Structure 1
């Protein structure tokens, strides 16, 4: 399935979803996909970022990661989104990006793309599932094909058992509570596998 192209798209403040994105990249590459990692454009004022050492450090660390554009979505056969929860919804940065895609959506360029999503929060029930579902709601409008991990591998249970997409709890020190690397990689590989089936069928 080396002909499958995957865009891993993330938003991150403290680094959690950046790490999830990198694990997804590794998993998709292990499945034979061509993978590109993108971040969504930051909307927060620089003064706010500068006041948070961890946030400022991540911005510097990821300065060479390209910002995602509509052309990147056209390029990809599959998308893997990773974003923290904001009161049970996706962050405004990701929503703003989605809101710019009316042009390629109206042209049918997002139809039959394969999509999966991941999330994080500071509590075990902090809105991760609702955030993933909020991302999927947009995908339904695109005519995209949502691929969840479900319970297709025991690694999902080890990571907390979220069937909608891998999610993780982050403690007060910014550390991940659950061990989710394996679950992220499984989710990415499953996304590549299904995208390969669909791409082959369309050809």
Structure 2
């Protein structure tokens, strides 16, 4: 039985878009059915359009469907990818999470595996705090948190983060980075398959 994985990402300049794409490819290779969804932009148009890189990223994602609560209800598992903003997930992600009260109160987010990834401008820019903050939300949902842990040697090549992959803005997506994302995704898919069996 193939798992249904919703990959939900927010990306200002493209890093988390790239991470989500790598994860989607890995999940499909592992046999999962994937919905890749962007989280809606809530910043005012004049702010977005005032920064060429931000505006260009919005245009690059124009063909990707926007995440809705229905995507989480559909899924057997979730993977969130979002940048760090002052040590937390950005307001766009929190706004999306705030739309999930109906699903949460009906128990439709419970017992599903979930994992998270992030990025920041510098190596110690709050990545772990961002992932752990998302995990606190997932605990309230009753979801089953599936971190990468120290379950593959590749994790030591990308900083050894057991909570979830984190990327430093501007670094290349080398083989180790791509494999760390793929490993975390495959682990999540395997857990979803086990829980759905």
TM-score (norm 1): 0.94
Unaligned 5+ runs, structure 1: none
User: Residue 177 of structure 1: CA displacement?
Assistant: 7.5
Contact 1:16 1:176 in 2 (8 A): no
Structure 1 position 199 matched with structure 2 position 186: no
Q: Deviations over 1:126-174 (max 9, x none)?
A: 0001000111110000000000001101111111111000001113xxx
Unaligned 5+ runs, structure 2: none
Structure 1 position 92 matched with structure 2 position 81: no
Matched residue SS, 2:109: coil
CA distance in 2, matches of 1:184, 1:147: 13
Match of 1:186 among 172, 183, 193: 183
CA distance in 2, matches of 1:28, 1:133: 23
Q: How many residues are matched? A: 196
CA distance in 1, matches of 2:31, 2:156: 25
Residue pairs, 1:126-137, within 5 angstroms: 126-137=125-136
Residue pairs, 1:114-193, within 5 angstroms: 114-171=113-170, 175-176=171-172, 179-193=176-190
Residue pairs, 1:21-100, within 5 angstroms: 21-100=20-99
Residue pairs, 1:1-40, within 5 angstroms: 1=1, 3-40=2-39
State the 4+ residue runs in structure 1 displaced beyond 6 angstroms. none
RMSD: 1.2
Matched residue SS, 2:92: helix
